[in-house]
Structure 1
Amino acid sequence: MLVASIENAEAHDYLSERLKKAYAFLRENDLGALSCGRHDIDGEDVFANVMEYDTVSAEAKKLEAHKLYYDVQCVASGIERVEVAPLEGLVCAKEYDEADDYALFESPMPATSVVLHAGEIAVLPPEDAHKPGCIAEDAPVHVKKVVVKVRA
């Protein structure tokens, strides 16, 4: 699965060596057994963050966006909805934090929603804001997720 606008899709090499390293990490590791926290793959160019949380309502969250990294988001267990919107024209809710490479934005109406089940990925480029961790069905569920950060 790939989530991107058609206008920007050709600007990215979704089969670059760095992204291939991300896909290989996700394919070759037992994601359910990975400890929470950072896992180095290729220094600051490719690394994984493993996290666990309960999904929440989309209204309780802001969209996030990154300038330096793609997100390759992979659900290891559980199910979540990820809202996606083009960064252009969004209202900033928290200015860009260079140290942590993120900014927060208000959600537009409508945003594109993608439901990720265990073993599914979404590749999110820097020009797309995203809101992961949203309730996908009727109630919150516990999710374990691996987000591989790939330098753009």
Structure 2
Amino acid sequence: MFFSNIKIAEKYNYLEEKFTCAYKWLAETDLEALPVGSYPIMGDTVVANIQEYTTFPADQGSFETHEKYFDIQYVVKGREQFGVCKRDGLVEKERIEENDLIFYEEPEFSGSVFLDEGDLIIVAPEDAHKPRCQAGGPCQVKKVVVKVAL
């Protein structure tokens, strides 16, 4: 899936080497066997973070963005609703510089994408996203979030 506004659609090349090496790593690695942790793929330019968690109601989460990295969020096991909206116009509520993380107040309008096992979504710095939301009820999820430096 590719989610973008036409104004920035050509700004990034989602097939350049740093992305293709991430896709290859996701396809060829036994992700179910890897424990929670961080795994360098291409130095500190592309790093995979294995996470495990239980999804929660969407109203308990917040939209977030990153300024230095893209996220490639890939579901290994489980399922979740993944909130998406444009970053423009959002009201910032918290910034954690050391984690490249900005949280926002709930926007008036947003959408979501259902992510099932084997699904991935790529979010650019211009994309706000709300991960870990329930899809019908709580679910144990194992996910890889690949951080790809700008």
Note whether the superposition's TM-score is higher than 0.5: yes
Structure 2 unmatched runs, 5+: none
Partner of 1:75: 75
Give the alignment's TM-score, normalised by structure 2.
Answer: 0.96
Spell out the pairing of 1:1-152 with structure 2 (5 A cutoff). 1-95=1-95, 97-137=96-136, 139-152=137-150
Which whole-Å CA distance do the structure 2 matches of 1:44 and 1:107 have between them?
32
Quick one: percent identity of the two aligned structures? 42
Which whole-Å CA distance do the structure 2 matches of 1:83 and 1:143 have between them?
16
**Count of aligned pairs:** 150
CA offsets per residue over residues 20-39 of structure 1, 9 Å max, x none?
11101111111111110101
Structure 1 unmatched runs, 5+: none
Deviation at 1:43, TM superposition (A): 1.5
CA offsets per residue over residues 116-150 of structure 1, 9 Å max, x none?
1000100000111110000112x110000000000
Which whole-Å CA distance do the structure 2 matches of 1:8 and 1:115 have between them?
24
CA offsets per residue over residues 53-97 of structure 1, 9 Å max, x none?
0000110011111000000000000000110111111011102x2
Which whole-Å CA distance do the structure 2 matches of 1:53 and 1:109 have between them?
27
Which whole-Å CA distance do the structure 1 matches of 2:120 and 2:86 have between them?
19
Residues 8-17 or 74-83, more deviating: 8-17
Which whole-Å CA distance do the structure 2 matches of 1:87 and 1:69 have between them?
14
Deviation at 1:6, TM superposition (A): 2.9
Tell me the secondary structure at the aligned position of residue 89 of structure 2: coil
Give the alignment's TM-score, normalised by structure 1.
Answer: 0.95
Which whole-Å CA distance do the structure 2 matches of 1:6 and 1:33 have between them?
39
